[in-house]
C-alpha cells in the first residue's frame, strides 16, 4: 500500500492483482473507505527489538504483540514500577485496551523527572543525556506521543549491565545546563532546575508523590 501525503495523487497498480487472494487497489489510499473497503483486520501490529543501535529484529509473533486489532496508540511506560517498560495499546472502534508486560530478563535502568523553574513546570522539551557503561544515551522529554496518547512526564533509560551512571546532563529550554556525576542506577531521580550542585537531585521511591 502506498500512502501519498498529497490527497490528489493518483498511483497506478504496480502489477496484476489476484482476486482470489482478495487483493485490490485504489489509486489513492484516501478512496479506500469511499469504495467500501476496510483495512482493519487485514493488518497485524508489529513490534521490533532494537539491537543497541545496530538494527532491529521483528519480535511481533514471539512477543504476542501482533494483535490483529486496529491499534492506533501505543505508550511505553513502567506500569509495574519494576524498571521495565511495558506497552499499552489503544484500539479504534471500541476494541479492548491491550497491556503487554515486559518479560525480558531484568536489567539496570534509570528514570528521570524534571521540575522546571525558568523552564515550564515539568521541563517538557528539555534534553537529558546519560553516560553509563561506555554508552551515551539521549532522551528529549516529550510526553505526548503516538496518536492521541500521553505518557508519564518522565524519561526512562535502559542501562543494561551498568549499575552506576557516570554522568547525567540536563539541557533545559531556558538554556541552563546541569551536569551530575556518579549517580545511582535502578531508581527514579527528580532534578530541579533552580538548584545548583548535588542538592538538585532527589530520589523518589515507587508510589511516592513527587513534592511540589
Report the length, in residues, of the chain: 212
Separation of alpha carbons 72 and 42, rounded Å: 14
Q: For residues 23 and 7, give the distance between their C-alpha atoms in angstroms, rounded to a whole number.
A: 22
* Overall average pLDDT of the 3-31 stretch: 73
Helices (H), the chain: 60-63
User: Of 184, 143, 47, which is closest to residue 102 (Cα–Cα)?
Assistant: 47
CA distances (Å), origin 64, targets 3, 51, 52? 27, 19, 22
Q: What is the pLDDT of residues 93-105, one digit of tens each?
A: 667 889 999 999 9
In this structure, what C-alpha cell is assigned to residue 25?
487497489
Say how far apart CA 61 and CA 153 lie, in whole Å: 30
Residue with cell 531508581: 187
Question: Pick from 128, 138, 130, 202: which is nearest to 172 by CA?
Answer: 128
Q: What is the pLDDT of residues 36-95, one digit of tens each?
A: 666 655 578 888 998 877 899 999 999 988 888 778 788 999 999 899 999 999 887 667
Judged by DSSP in three states, 53 sits in coil
Mean pLDDT of the chain: 85
Q: By the 8 A CB rule, do 49 and 59 touch?
A: yes
**Domains of the chain: residue spans and CATH:** 48-100 (no CATH), 108-204 (2.60.40.10)
Whole-number pLDDT of residue 59: 92
Considering all CA atoms of the chain, what is the largest pairwise distance in Å, rounded to the nearest integer? 69
Amino acid at each position: 500500500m502506498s500512502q501519498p501525503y498529497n490527497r490528489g495523487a493518483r498511483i497506478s497498480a504496480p502489477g496484476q492483482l489476484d482476486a482470489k487472494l482478495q487483493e485490490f487497489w485504489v489509486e489513492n489510499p484516501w478512496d479506500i473507505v469511499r469504495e467500501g473497503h476496510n483495512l482493519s483486520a487485514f493488518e497485524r501490529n508489529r513490534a521490533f527489538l532494537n539491537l543497541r543501535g545496530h538494527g532491529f529484529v521483528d519480535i511481533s509473533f514471539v512477543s504476542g504483540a501482533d494483535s490483529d486489532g486496529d491499534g492506533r496508540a501505543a505508550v511505553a511506560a513502567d506500569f509495574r514500577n519494576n524498571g521495565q517498560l511495558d506497552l499499552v495499546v489503544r484500539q479504534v472502534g471500541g476494541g479492548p485496551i491491550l497491556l503487554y508486560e515486559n518479560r525480558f530478563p531484568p536489567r539496570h535502568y534509570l528514570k528521570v523527572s524534571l521540575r522546571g523553574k525558568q523552564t515550564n513546570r515539568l521541563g517538557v522539551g528539555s534534553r537529558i543525556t546519560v553516560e553509563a557503561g561506555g554508552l551515551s544515551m539521549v532522551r528529549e522529554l516529550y510526553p505526548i506521543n503516538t496518536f492521541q496518547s500521553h505518557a508519564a512526564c518522565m524519561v526512562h533509560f535502559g542501562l543494561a549491565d551498568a549499575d552506576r551512571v557516570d554522568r547525567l546532563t540536563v539541557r533545559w529550554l531556558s538554556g541552563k545546563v546541569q551536569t551530575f556525576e556518579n549517580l545511582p542506577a535502578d531508581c527514579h531521580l527528580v532534578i530541579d532546575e533552580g538548584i545548583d550542585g548535588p542538592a538538585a537531585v532527589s530520589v523518589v521511591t515507587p508510589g511516592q508523590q513527587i513534592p511540589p
